[in-house]
Structure 1
Amino acid sequence: MANEPSQGTNDPYASIRYPEFKFFLIIRFAVVFALTMQFAIIEWRIYHLTNDPLSLGLIGLAEVVPALIMALFAGHIVDKREKRGVMMKCMLAYIVVGIGLFLLTWDRIVAGFSAQSIAYSTYALVFVGGIIRSFVGPSTFTMLSLLVPRELYKNAATWSSSSWQVGGVMGPAIGGLCIYWFGVHWSMLLVVGMMCVPVWCLLNIQPKPIYYKDKGESVFQSLGAGLKFVWNTKVVLNAMALDMFAVLFGGSKALLAIFATTILGVGSLGYGFLSAAPAVGSLLTMFVLAYRPLVKKPGIKLLAAVFGFGLCMIVFAISKSYILSLTALLVSGMLDGISVIVRQTILQLKTPDDMRGRVASVSQMFVGSSNELGAFESGLAAKIMGVVPSVVFGGCMTLGVVITTYIISPAMRKLDLKP
C-alpha cells in the first residue's frame, strides 16, 4: 500500500491523493467505458440484425451464465493470487475478445454469413467476456483495499464508483454517437483501443501482498467460505439481495434500443442519450456524496432510493415524451448512485482482508450478474407481455422488494457505516 499520509477522512479528495489509486480510477473508467460502449454497439447491431427483443435478452444471458458458473472459483483464485497480475491477464483477454467483435462487424469478414450466424458468434464472444468478468470483479474490489488505508474506504468507494459511472455515462453516449457518425464497425475499434489503457495503468501499480490464509481447506470448503460469510452477515446479505432484485426486475436498459426506435422514435443519437442518462444521474449523486457523505440512517436512505428507482421505471415505461423518458432515467440513476455507494461501503468495511475475493464473487453473483439476468428477464417479459407492460411490471416488483426488505430486515433499518 502507498505510504503517503492521509489528508483526513473529512477531505473529499483524501483517497485520490494516493498516486496508485489515481491509476486505479483510470482503470475503472476505461474498463467500464469500453464494456458499456461495446454492449451498446452490440445491442444496436443485434436488434437490427434480428428485429427480435428476445435477442437482446440473450446477450445478457450469454454473459451471465459463465459469470455465475465461474464466480466462486474466480474469487478463490483471486484471493490466492497477486491481484495486479490477475487484472493484467483479464485486460489482455478483453482485448482479444474486442478484436473478435471488431472482426464480426467487418462486412468483408462476414460477407456470406447469415444474420443468425453473426448473432451466435457474437453471443459466443460475449460468453468468453463473461468468464473474464468473473475474475475482474473480485480482483478490482480487492485491489481498492490495498491502495488506501481503511479509514478512507468510504471515500475511495465513492470515487471508485464515480469513475465507474463516468465510464458508464460516456460509454453508451459515445457508442451511440459513433454509430451515428462512423457506423458499428469503426465504433468497435475504439473499444479495442480503450481496452489498452488499463494495461498501461497496471504497469504503474506495484504488485500487492496476498492475505490469503491457508487453513488446510479443500477447494470446495474455500469456495463455500464466501457464501457462509455473506449468509451470516445479514446486512451484507440484505444489501446484496435488495440491489439484485431491484436490478433484476426494475432495469430496462436492455430494451432501450426498442424504446428509442419504435416508441420514442429518436434513432441512434437519442438511444445514446437514453443509455447514458442513468449513469449521468448516478454520477451527479456520487459527486455530491464525495462532499456530503451519507452518515445518518444510510439504510433507510438506501431503501428509499431503491423505492424511488422503481417509481422512475414505471414513469419511463408509460411515457410517450422523449424529455420525460430521459428525465425518468436520469433520476433513476441519481437514486441508484445512493444504492451503489452504500452497498460498496458495506462490503469494504465488513469483509475480512483474506476473504475479499470470495465475498466480491458472491456479490457479483447477486448484483453484477443481475444486470444480465435482468436483461434476459426484460427481453423475455417483453416478448410475452409487450415492451411497456413488462417494464411497468418490473417497476412494481421493485417496489414490492423494497417494502419486504424494510419489514424483514432490522439490520438494514439500523445500518451504521462508521469505519
Structure 2
Amino acid sequence: MRFWLARLFGTVANQMLMVALAWQMYDVTGSAWDLGLVGLFQFAPQLAMTLPAGHVVDRLHRGSIFAACMVAQSLAAMLLWFAISGQFATRELILGVSVIFGVARAFQLPAQQAITPLLVPQFLLVRAIALSTSSVQAAVICGPALGGVLYTFGPEVVYASGAVLLLLAFVLTLFVRYTHVPTHVANTLRSIFAGVSFVWAHKALLGAMSLDLFAVLLGGATALLPIYARDILQVGPVGLGLLRAAPAVGALLMSLALTRWPLQRKVGLRMLSCVAVFGVCMVVFGLSTNFVVSLAALAISGAADNVGVVIRLTLMQLETPDEMRGRVAAVNTIFIGASNQLGEFESGATAALFGPVGSVVLGGVGTLLVAVGWIWLFPALSKRDRMVRSS
C-alpha cells in the first residue's frame, strides 16, 4: 500500500509539472518546435541511461533507486520554482530541467516495474497490474487537472506543489519492505544488453512492446495539446489540464473493468484491435473543433491504450525471471520513452511542417497502418490466446 501511494503521489506531481513545463515553454517562445524539444530533451538522456539503469536495478535495492529518483525530480521542481521567483526561467533552463527529468525517469521506471512482482503472488499479478495502472491513471487524471488549475495562480505554485508531493513519495518509499535478492552478474556490456537479447528472443513480447511504441509515437498528441487548448479549442490552461486528463479517465475506467474482469482469451487480437481504435480516436480528435467531442475522443483513446498496457506489462512480468526483470523493464522503459518523449518531438516537428491538425490526423492514420502491419510482422503476438502460454 505504501508503494501504491508513493507511485500515486509521484505520478500526480510529474503530471502537474509536465503541464506547467509545456504551458510555460509555449508562453515563453510560442513555438511548436520548442514544445517538441521539451520531449526530445527528456527522451535523449533517458535513452542513453536506461539500459545501464536496468543493470543497476537488478543489482541494487529497487525501492532505494525509486526513492532517489523522487528526490532528484523534487529538486528539479524547486529549481523551476526559484527560477520563476528570480525571473530567470528561460527557454534554456526549461530544456535543462527536462534533461534532469529524463535521467531520473531512466532509473525510476525500471525500478518501479521490477518491484511489483515482488509485492504480490503470481496468481494475483494480472489483477495487481490492472489495479496498479488504475492508480497511475487516477493520478494522470488528477495531476493535469490540478496542474492546470494551479497554473492560473502562477507556475511557481505548480512547481512548489509538485516538489512537496515528490518528497512525500520519497518518504513513503523508504518504508516499503520486500526481500531483495540482487543478481551477481558481471559489469559487462553483454550483461547490460541482456534485456535486449531476452526481448528479441521472445517475439510476442517484442511485438507487444514495439506495437505500443509505434502507436503512441505516431498517434500521440500530448505535445500539441497547448496549441489545441489555446488556439483551436480556446479553453485556456484549465482546458489544457482537462485535455491531458481525458485519456487517463478512459484508461482508469478500463483498468477498473479489467480488475473486475481480467482478460482471458485472444489477448493478442484484442491488443491489435485496441490500437486500431486508438488510431481512429486520434483522427477524430485532430479534426474536432468541439471541446466535448475532443474530450470524448481522447477518453476513448485512453481506454483502448490501457488494454495494450495491461497486456504488455503482464506478458513482461510472467515471461521474465526475477533476476532479469530490471534489465527487461529497462528495455520496456526505452520503448515507453520513445513513444512518449520522442513522440512529442515528432508531433512538434510535423506540426511545424503540416500544422497541428495535419500532424495529429496523419499520426492517427499511421497508427491504423501499424495495427494492420503487426498482424503480419508478429504472428506470435496476433495468435497469442492467453497471458500464460500453454505447456
Compute the TM-score of the two structures, normalised by the length of structure 2.
0.97
1:8 maps to which residue? none
1:137 to 106, 109, 115: 109
CA offset at residue 164 of structure 1? 0.9
**Partners in 2 of 1:91 and 1:208 — Cα distance?**
22
Alignment of 1:108-187 (within 5 A): 109-110=86-87, 113=88, 118-180=90-152, 182-187=153-158
Alignment of 1:226-265 (within 5 A): 226-265=195-234
**Partners in 2 of 1:336 and 1:400 — Cα distance?**
16
1:189 maps to which residue? 160
Listed one character per residue, the Cα deviations across residues 262-293 of structure 1 (whole Å, up to 9, x for unaligned) are 01111112111111100111000000110011
1:410 to 379, 382, 385: 379
CA offset at residue 369 of structure 1? 3.1
Contact 2:68 2:170 in 1 (8 A): no
**Partners in 1 of 2:137 and 2:284 — Cα distance?**
23
CA offset at residue 213 of structure 1? 3.9
Q: What SS does the corresponding residue of 2:135 show, helix, strand or coil?
A: helix
2:50 maps to which residue? 71
Q: Which amino acid aligns with 1:318?
A: L
2:261 maps to which residue? 292
Q: Is 1:361 paired with 2:330? A: yes
Listed one character per residue, the Cα deviations across residues 320-345 of structure 1 (whole Å, up to 9, x for unaligned) are 11111111011111111111111111
1:201 to 147, 172, 190: 172
**Partners in 2 of 1:267 and 1:122 — Cα distance?**
21
Contact 1:169 1:280 in 2 (8 A): yes
Contact 1:83 1:207 in 2 (8 A): no
**Partners in 2 of 1:305 and 1:207 — Cα distance?**
35
Q: Is 1:91 paired with 2:70? A: yes
Q: What SS does the corresponding residue of 1:386 show, helix, strand or coil?
A: helix
Listed one character per residue, the Cα deviations across residues 11-33 of structure 1 (whole Å, up to 9, x for unaligned) are xxxxxxxxxxx112111211111
1:269 to 222, 230, 238: 238
CA offset at residue 207 of structure 1? 5.2
Alignment of 1:273-352 (within 5 A): 273-352=242-321
Contact 1:83 1:208 in 2 (8 A): no
Contact 1:67 1:369 in 2 (8 A): no
Listed one character per residue, the Cα deviations across residues 100-138 of structure 1 (whole Å, up to 9, x for unaligned) are 1212222xx02xx4xxx7111111111011111111011
1:54 maps to which residue? 33
Listed one character per residue, the Cα deviations across residues 135-154 of structure 1 (whole Å, up to 9, x for unaligned) are 10111011111111112111
Contact 1:25 1:159 in 2 (8 A): no
Farther-moved stretch of structure 1 (204-213 vs 369-378): 204-213
CA offset at residue 224 of structure 1? 1.6
Contact 2:119 2:178 in 1 (8 A): no
Backbone CA RMSD of aligned residues: 1.2
Farther-moved stretch of structure 1 (401-410 vs 251-260): 401-410
2:181 maps to which residue? 210
Q: Is 1:221 paired with 2:200? A: no
**Partners in 2 of 1:268 and 1:90 — Cα distance?**
28
**Partners in 2 of 1:161 and 1:134 — Cα distance?**
19
1:375 maps to which residue? 344
Q: What SS does the corresponding residue of 2:193 show, helix, strand or coil?
A: helix
CA offset at residue 163 of structure 1? 1.0
**Partners in 2 of 1:387 and 1:243 — Cα distance?**
22
**Partners in 2 of 1:152 and 1:270 — Cα distance?**
38
**Partners in 1 of 2:290 and 2:217 — Cα distance?**
25
Contact 1:104 1:122 in 2 (8 A): no
**Partners in 2 of 1:388 and 1:88 — Cα distance?**
40
**Partners in 2 of 1:56 and 1:100 — Cα distance?**
20
Listed one character per residue, the Cα deviations across residues 10-57 of structure 1 (whole Å, up to 9, x for unaligned) are xxxxxxxxxxxx112111211111111100011011101101111110
**Partners in 2 of 1:271 and 1:205 — Cα distance?**
35
Contact 2:131 2:259 in 1 (8 A): yes
**Partners in 1 of 2:230 and 2:317 — Cα distance?**
41
Listed one character per residue, the Cα deviations across residues 292-332 of structure 1 (whole Å, up to 9, x for unaligned) are 11111111111110100000000000111111111101111
**Partners in 2 of 1:262 and 1:330 — Cα distance?**
21
Listed one character per residue, the Cα deviations across residues 340-378 of structure 1 (whole Å, up to 9, x for unaligned) are 111111111111110111101111111233200000000
Q: What SS does the corresponding residue of 2:175 show, helix, strand or coil?
A: coil
Q: Which amino acid aligns with 1:300?
A: L
Q: Is 1:384 paired with 2:353? A: yes
**Partners in 1 of 2:107 and 2:330 — Cα distance?**
8
Q: Which amino acid aligns with 2:157?
A: W
Give the share of equivalent positions with the same residue, in percent: 38
Q: Is 1:104 paired with 2:74? A: no
Moved over 3 A (4+): none
